[in-house]
Amino acid sequence: MEDARQTVTRFIFQNFYVADGQQIGGAESLLERGIIDSTGVLEVIGFLEERFGITVDDSDMLPENLDTIDGIVAFVARKTVER
């Protein structure tokens, strides 16, 4: 699932403010770091649905699925298996 990790990380860096040279650990909260906000979560959801062909249900909108890069990648892996 490394390709998904690279894809998600690239999306975060290209679409949200991440200071030059700033590193984001896979388990760091994107919300707590101020990288994304509630509107940003919706942008991430739209990206995941379009890029990976998954559906993010209301019940999926949980911090453990969408607040860290590790969580997003694991969520994508689970959802792509369900398809």
| Residues 2-49 pLDDT 10s | 699 999 999 999 999 887 667 889 999 999 999 999 999 999 999 999
pLDDT value at position 60?
97
pLDDT band for position 53 (50/70/90)?
very high
Mean pLDDT of 54-77: 97
pLDDT band for position 74 (50/70/90)?
very high
Rounded (10°) angle between helices 69-82 and 2-15 = 130
pLDDT value at position 64?
96
Distance (Å, whole) CA 53 – CA 28: 25
Contact 79, 54 (CB under 8 A): yes
Which is more confident, 20 or 74? 74
pLDDT value at position 2?
64
CATH superfamily name and code, 2-82: ACP-like (1.10.1200.10)
Domain ranges of the chain: 2-82
